[in-house]
Chain A
Amino acid sequence: MAEYIVKNGFVVDPTLGVNCEKMDIAIKDGKIVETTELKSPKTIDASGMIVMAGAVDVHSHSAGPKVNVGRNFRPEDKLNYYKAKSGVKRMEAGFSVPTALSSGYIFARMGYGFVMEAAMPPLYARHTHEEMRDTPIVDEAALPVFGNNWFVMEYLKNHEIENVASYIAWLLRVTKGYGVKCVNPGGTEAWGWGMNCVTPDDPVPYFDVTPKEIIKGLIEANEYLRLPHSMHLHSNSLGEPGNYQITIDSLKCAEGFKANSDFGRDQVLHHTHLQFHSYGGESYGSKEFESKSKEVMDYVNGTDNITFDIGQVTLDETTTMTADGPFEYHLSHMNNLKWVNKDVELETAAGVVPFIYNPNSFIGVAQWAIGQELALLTKDMTKCHITTDAPNAGPVHRYPRVIKWLMSLKARNQILDDCKYGDSVRSQCYIGEIDRELSFYEIAQMTRVGTSKCLGLSHMFGSLKPGMEGDVSVYAYNPETDDDPEKIEHAFGNAKYFIKSGELIINDGEIISNGHKRTFWVKPGMELTAQVNRDVTERFKKYYTVTQNNYEVKEHHYVPNPYVIEVNAA
């Protein structure tokens, strides 16, 4: 494998305590090494550019059944967004829901080395893996959903944590999943009958457990199994005005739990796209609706076992997709656009609806403001991660624009000054009171250090220390001389150089390799308990429409290049 030395760049790496200092970074055999270890390296001249470790994404929807629904039912999404094949790079298409191939290239251009697919319906795991396999360059993993799973709910009714853990361990093994995702706990099962659970105390029809019991039980089982990542939550009543108290109540479920894992994380609960869950008021109107980001952040800043990502609205036309079936139904009634629903037997559901976050509407800009506020009110930036819940709040390729807004008051004011309801947003939200501008150091904390730690991957990603994976991003922005927020956005969206696992992927802005992507999955040490074994066999016989033997995703075709993380049980 070729050796590289990235010379003279302004290195930003919080794990080294380095903030825009001129340093050389050496890469050999796929890993970062000391510069003295190189024999005949190829030189990458990073003079006047920012150098960071490859970024790590904690939550986006880039592969799987609902993502593909989004592609296939929105030909209009491709109308003006496509790139022809060129050299080794294959065809690309799609604005809000890019093709799998396009996704890989977009992440590479932004300097991302690892991406977490945030919701995998277990019955569709094979599909998710087929898409991840075809997504070039970036390493990926997927989180199966558990929050509405019949096994989980039945065990939690009697607080049988060992059985839940045993079931989770089995499911991660057969679906090649990474961790525990929980979407609208209980509400999606209720949606099987056209109903919902709107608060953490609403009992689930028939199963008679509450969302709170599901959240706590999954946290407990997750720590029992000592998994690399924590429980990953999308709480009830997403997007509803006045939902912030529900959010805080859900976050409180983490109280009393402590991380139990060898993978270096501190949190027991990751709350995703917190922006959608920090609303006050009683309607979306400009006089009613208000931001409650401060209230939510007052709680989060005071805890040491919770992380979150923002789910920043980017004011684009996009495609929403979530396992929160009842929410998508609700959304389709708000905008009267096309609606796809897909209920999945015994496990979950999904909905897909196109959505336009209109910069000339009050609510669109208010949602935009709340995402910014959450990040700007955060004390420890490693706990707060940049996402757009792609493509729900905005397309994934808008990450650089989110970085621009967070780093520039000028850029934020421009949004507020140019839109119709800027004054209303300033009065109903906290955005007008905040003049904080994040630094490159803090951006690296949010997109590298924090995310890799949160996923239990800080021993591989998010740092340029010798021994780490050879993922290095070089952005054409000079922190000493450049002072244009637009240039920040351009630089972070168009890496000048990108090295992935020691291989040069982007050379002078051009994709020259499709890389050797890996799919990460977690193999817990716990075996099936006798009861779970019996239950699984019985349920497959009686209620599933595939046999148990045909359920398992075999590695060969679906996970051809696996990276398996084995976890020892307690």
Chain B
Amino acid sequence: MSKIITDVVCPFCGTLCDDLEVTVSDDGKKLIDVSNACAIGAMKFLHSQADDRLTKPRMRNEDGSWRDVSYEEAADFSAKMLANSKKPLMYGWSSTNCEAQSVGSTIGELIGAQMDNTATVCHGTTLIAVQDVGVPSCTLGEVKNRADMIIYWGGNPAHAHPRHMSRYSMYPRGFFTAKGHRGRTLVVVDPRDTDSASIADIHLKVEQGRDYELLSALRVAFRGEVLPDVVAGIPKEKIYEVAEKMKKARFGVIFFGMGVTQTLSKNHNIDIAIQVTRDLNEYTKFSIMPMRGHYNVTGSGEVWGWQFGFPFCVDLSRGFARYNPGESSSNDLLVRGEVDSVFVIGSDPGAHFPFGSVKKMNEIPCVCVDPHITPTTVVADLHVPVAFVGVEVGGCAYRMDSVPIETHKVVDAPEGMITDEEFLNMVLERLQKIKGV
């Protein structure tokens, strides 16, 4: 026999869908099926059931092979590593719950760690732009209920956030948007012919790396000033046309992705995209929102915000919090050789950091807390597999519009496995003993 659990929250991307239905065995030990989820989300749930899943921490031997250790030994090793480091980096935090993040903050404060999350290689530039110029935004339900113009800029939601368009932006029928997609205009700005671009009413095939110019041209067009014949590969007639459509929209929104945050100009791209949105509020109502990646990267920034005052790149080494991206950002710290150990949780820097940084991680003591075997575990000295947040343990996560949603436990973790939060608490207890507090 089996039972169906409803209202399940998907712990994959920042879309944080909360309408999944999961079929589990009667004893709650086996997850059988997932519905309503996208292919990626469903796989995350099903992957927890893999037969070859690691269930015990493993430590690297001198010769590079692994040996199984207990969680106690793993916590001892982690605590000693952190206590003996002059400047440890505690990185990741985006694929775990806020409860674990909070314990992490206590540890970071105790040992004076460098705290950074995955925004550092993703939407960190957005966070910096918001510090420059603010951000007019809204919740995704406002888009669903009011928006008649949707713009995806530098992102491909059809693949990266598969249910974003159907749940929130293009397709849903909302309160003031009863016609659904027939009442909406979709603009995609992308140099590539993506699946998202293929369904757009207007595809602006911007020249690669020329987003700033195009955004600037839109601001010129809003004001009815003169444009050169072609800007960023787009003819001026097209720019005037889109600008006019934006001004005439009843409620518009720009969703932007890493095509603008991590290409030439970085945070300056976002600065001007936000200024475009500000401009449009002179004529109509317009919002802008980052397409956050990990399901709880937003939460990590929120937790550190209320505990330290900064959303990423937090340096706790002086006994109070400092913030200086470029100095206190993970890759700068690693490449400059400033940190002497790395504790990774809820992220895979091995796959996403530049090779120079990963090499450094390989050279210094490194602990990785992650349910999966990943490129990061390849360079780690200790790999601590844990229960899947949102599958085997609940906890709070923040959606890309900062709406907090509580994820649920739907199935038991394999016997003997503990959670991120429990493991961090074990490390914290040991550190408190070492430090005598």
Contact = CB atoms under 8 A, between A and B. Distances in A.
A338 B306 contact: no
Given A72-B305, A130-B404, A340-B134, A543 B174 contact: yes
Interface in B62-77: none
A92 B278 CA distance: 33
Chain A at the B interface: SS class? mixed
B206 interface: no
Interface in B165-188: 167-168, 173-176
Given A340-B130, A341-B138, A352-B134, A547 B307 contact: no
B222 interface: no
The 3 closest A-B pairs by CB, nearest first: A345-B141, A338-B134, A84-B319
Interface centre among B102, B132, B168, B406 (most CB of A within 10 A): B406
A94 B309 CA distance: 7
A91 B314 CA distance: 12
In the complex, which range does the number of interface residues on chain A fall in? 35 or more
Interface stretch (A120-128, A240-248, A287-295, A428-436): A120-128
Given A91-B308, A124-B404, A545-B167, A75 B319 contact: no
B346 interface: no
Interface of B: 6-7, 9, 18-19, 98-99, 102, 109, 127, 130-142, 144-146, 167-168, 173-176, 250-251, 278, 281, 284-285, 287, 301-303, 305-311, 316, 318-321, 323, 395-396, 398, 402-406
B242 to A, nearest CB: 20
A420 interface: no
A193 B250 contact: yes
Nearest to A84: B319
Nearest to A557: B99
Given A91-B321, A124-B403, A340 B136 contact: yes
Contacts of B176: 206
A65 B133 CA distance: 18
A545 B281 CA distance: 24
Contacts of A192: 142, 146, 251, 285
A134 B319 contact: no
6 contacts: A130-B303, A134-B306, A345-B139, A353-B134, A543-B145, A547-B19
A417 to B, nearest CB: 36
Contacts of B284: 194
Contacts of B320: 82-85, 91-93
A543 B178 CA distance: 11
Contacts of A344: 138-139, 141-142
A343 interface: yes
Contact of A127 (B139, B140, B281, B402): B402
A343 B139 contact: yes
A74 interface: yes
A100 B307 contact: yes
A329 B279 CA distance: 12
Contacts of B135: 73, 340-341
Given A124-B403, A338-B133, A545-B141, A130 B250 contact: no
A400 to B, nearest CB: 23
Interface in A531-570: 542-547, 549-550, 554, 557-558
Contacts of A131: 306
Given A72-B127, A91-B307, A344-B138, 7 more contacts: A124-B402, A130-B404, A192-B146, A338-B130, A338-B131, A340-B134, A546-B403
